[in-house]
Amino acid sequence: MDYHMKAPVSREDVQKLNAGDYVYLTGTIYTARDAAHKRMKEALDNKEALPFDMKGNIIYYMGPSPAREGRPIGSAGPTTASRMDRYTPQLLDLGLGAMIGKGKRSKEVIDSIIRNQSVYFAAVGGAGALLSKCISTSKVIAYDDLGTEAVRCLEVKDFPVIVVIDSKGNNLYETAIAQFREE
């Protein structure tokens, strides 16, 4: 199925998605990758506020290349999600609506996705130029000193993602690869 969906997402929207669905996201999403996740963990440990409210929001695991003059952002494709696995369950427990990245997730993350009724999307890895076209504005909102790893608020329009792990725990990487395996 193809869906057009608003970001942030509601739990009802997330629950109707199945692994393999194509989703075009429009609205506000936030970037965070390795260093920003480490900072957010430290903020939670110190009982400090996070850069944005997790509830219903989407984290895009991405660190862009610099924007040329007159453009909102440079190349902007997904990075490998599993490097964030250690931090993810805690953010899901705080209501994180969805994640966009690429690659496998740990069992702990998948269990937490089911428990919290969230969803993991993949964007096409290595399609950073194409994906940048779906981003209309980009603003650093926290951890500016981290450069490309700072937390950014993005406005996106019809940003194309695929449901890889749905709220029931179905995993497209496993089912789709098994379908074509001839070992």
Partner 1 sequence: MIRTVKAEEITKNIKEMCIEANHVLSKDMEELFMQSAKKEKSTLGKQIFGQLKENLDIAREDHIPICQDTGMAVIFLKIGQDVHIEGNNLTDAVNQGVREGYAEGYLRKSIVEPIERINTKDNTPAVIHYEIVQGDEIDITVAPKGFGSENMSRVFMLKPADGLDGVKQSILTAVREAGPNACPPMVVGVGIGGTFEKCAQMAKHALTRDLNEKPSVPYVRELEEEMLVKINKLGIGPGGLGGTVTALAVNIETYATHIAGLPVAVNICCHVNRHVHRIL
Q: How many CA atoms lie within 13 A of 40 on its CB side?
A: 27
Q: Which is closer to partner 1, CB of 47 or CB of 68?
A: 68
Q: Which is closer to partner 1, CB of 98 or CB of 123?
A: 123
CB of 170 to partner 1, least distance (A): 13
Q: Which is closer to partner 1, CB of 20 or CB of 95?
A: 20
CB of 27 to partner 1, least distance (A): 21
CA distance 112 to 133: 32
Q: Which is closer to partner 1, CB of 54 or CB of 84?
A: 84
The residues of the shown chain that bind partner 1, judged by CB under 8 A, are: 20, 35, 62-68, 71, 74-77, 79-80, 82, 102-104, 122, 124-130, 132-133, 146-148, 160, 162, 164, 172-173, 175-183
Q: Which is closer to partner 1, CB of 54 or CB of 109?
A: 109
CB burial class (10 A; 0-12, 13-18, 19+) of residue 40? buried
CB neighbours of residue 34 within 10 Å: 16
Asked if 14 and 98 count as a contact pair (C-beta separation under 8 A), the reply is yes
CB neighbours of residue 106 within 10 Å: 15
Q: Is the torsion defined by CA of 93, 77, 29, 2 positive or negative? A: negative
CB of 80 to partner 1, least distance (A): 5
CB of 152 to partner 1, least distance (A): 12
Read off the tokens for 85.
């696995």
CB of 178 to partner 1, least distance (A): 7
CA distance 109 to 15: 17
